[in-house]
Structure 1
Amino acid sequence: MLYIIAEVRNVQIFQVNDTIQCVVTGPIGTNSYIIWTHPVLVIDPGYGTGSIVREPCVVLLTHGHFDHVCGLKELECERVYVSEPDSKWLKDPHLNLSVYFDEDFVFDSQVELLKEGSFEIAGLKFQIHLTPGHTPGSMMLRTDGVIFSGDTIFLDSVGRTDLPGGDEKTMRRTLRQIRELLKNLEPNTLLLPGHGEFGTVEEVLKQNIFLREEGS
């Protein structure tokens, strides 16, 4: 069970393991993740992340929606990594959906592009899994017994496909691939989603009806 270890400016902080914290941020309860390595890694920064990370950091984005990127301007970003398809989301308030939050969010600083495969940073080796469906460039990041799944899959659900760039058929293909991936991982691997509770791969395979359907 996870416990709140702190609240900073209405931001709740949970300890996931020795190095990873989950920061639940606004505007819609987004799970941002901080990995306290050197440099610090921030995954999907929402509002308020800058009140916790006050040093130079590297940002990894699972996709380009506003609630997962709005904290970028609070941080001192050494580098920002995103998939090529979703890189344009950062510069378009309609694609990143910030216009629906009465903002016109644009992040026009240089970004680095991530592709499917291996990626090493801050002493960690990540496996990048491109998982289009929620957005064209959604991806999951896997390292050291954890998977950061963004809005592709949650503990008991999946990301919406009715938003700009979403595609239901593509998501179905992605879910079939994810199911096979999860079946071949250690059952106690943690899945850390972009919203809601997190759990083990074993729990996700049991509780996520969408993955069960794709396996039938």
Structure 2
Amino acid sequence: MLGNKITELNPVPELTILQTQLGEWDNLNHVIICNSTNEAILIDPFSGEFWSNVLMDRNLNKIIIILTHSHWDHTRGVEKFLESNPNTEIYIHELEYKRGWSGPDTHRWNHQPYSFIDLNYGNLNFEIHCTPGHTPGHITLIGHGIIISGDCLFLGRCGRTDLFGGDKYSMWKSLMYLNKKLKKLPKDWLVFPGHKYPLDDNTNPDYLNLEHVFENNLAIKKQSYDDFCKLDYLEFDDALAKKSRILKEENRL
């Protein structure tokens, strides 16, 4: 895993973003670095060992972890990272406890769905939007020319809604909420999703600017809930979905 290629970008002068693909589920991991304070935000670490080694070489002054949601493939690296970085602060939305999150955290956001709060870190300021649907407390991070969208908004589609804690109507509302928010931003802002999936034209980019996301992504353009429900990637008949149905019945979620 240490041989994974890391893409380094400077979409705006004040920050650097690192991106790499880890694991068999095409997870895209991201690190945001404040260039003036040399402090970093590690988002959804798939491998704690990988990121401990990468970030150690950069001699950062501080690192925090933000979890967009609590699915295993977005949190599996947290405990390993803490072994070598025990004072790392971890941020997650408290609604993730509705689907059974029991991992470590130090900060729990509690703002309402389809709203945001500010996060000031280093000399950076981000909006933390609560965008449920894939999970109850999924968050999307927006600021400084970038959108970290986790498993809510992919480049060519949206996240599935049939897993434990998922909800189709909430996903549609989140996407309509993001539609209004993102259309007010410059078209060259970059979207960094939680997974790398091919587009309808068979290209498979790691990130896209907003102009191309709105061109390629039907999910964020479906103004009608009935039309949104016709999308074929919201629900699947696989082992994960079957397990989710059992959990939903047991927990009435």
Tell me which residue corresponds to 1:60. Answer: 66
5+ residue gaps in structure 2? 197-205, 228-253
Per the TM alignment, residue 192 of structure 1 is displaced from its structure 2 partner at its CA by 0.7
In 1, the alpha carbon distance for the partners of 2:137 and 2:172 equals 15
Over aligned residue pairs, what C-alpha RMSD do you find? 1.9
Q: Does 1:200 align with 2:209?
A: yes
Q: Does 1:9 align with 2:2?
A: yes
Per the TM alignment, residue 206 of structure 1 is displaced from its structure 2 partner at its CA by 0.8
Contact 2:155 2:216 in 1 (8 A): yes
Per the TM alignment, residue 49 of structure 1 is displaced from its structure 2 partner at its CA by 2.3
Q: Does 1:78 align with 2:88?
A: yes
In 1, the alpha carbon distance for the partners of 2:22 and 2:2 equals 10
Q: Could you say what secondary structure the match of 1:11 adopts? A: coil
Larger radius of gyration: 2
Q: Could you say what secondary structure the match of 2:5 adopts? A: strand
5+ residue gaps in structure 1? 1-7, 92-106
Question: Which deviates more from structure 2 when the two are superposed, residues 73-82 or residues 124-133?
Answer: 73-82
Tell me which residue corresponds to 1:112. Answer: 107
Equivalent of residue 29 in structure 1, options 26, 29, 54: 26
In 2, the alpha carbon distance for the partners of 1:126 and 1:166 equals 25
Q: How many residue pairs get matched?
A: 193
Contact 1:132 1:170 in 2 (8 A): yes
Q: Does 1:173 align with 2:173?
A: yes
In 1, the alpha carbon distance for the partners of 2:194 and 2:124 equals 20
Contact 1:133 1:161 in 2 (8 A): yes
Amino acid at match of 1:111: T
In 1, the alpha carbon distance for the partners of 2:192 and 2:212 equals 12
Identify, as 1 or 2, the structure richer in strand: 1
Per the TM alignment, residue 199 of structure 1 is displaced from its structure 2 partner at its CA by 0.5
1:119-134 correspondence to structure 2 within 5 Å: 119-134=119-134
Normalised to the residue count of structure 1, the TM-score between the two structures is 0.82
Contact 2:44 2:75 in 1 (8 A): yes
Equivalent of residue 90 in structure 1, options 97, 101, 106: 101
Q: Does 1:160 align with 2:160?
A: yes
Moved over 3 A (4+): 87-90
Deviation per CA, 1:24-66, whole angstroms, max 9, x where unpaired? Answer: 1114221111123333210111123233123652001111111
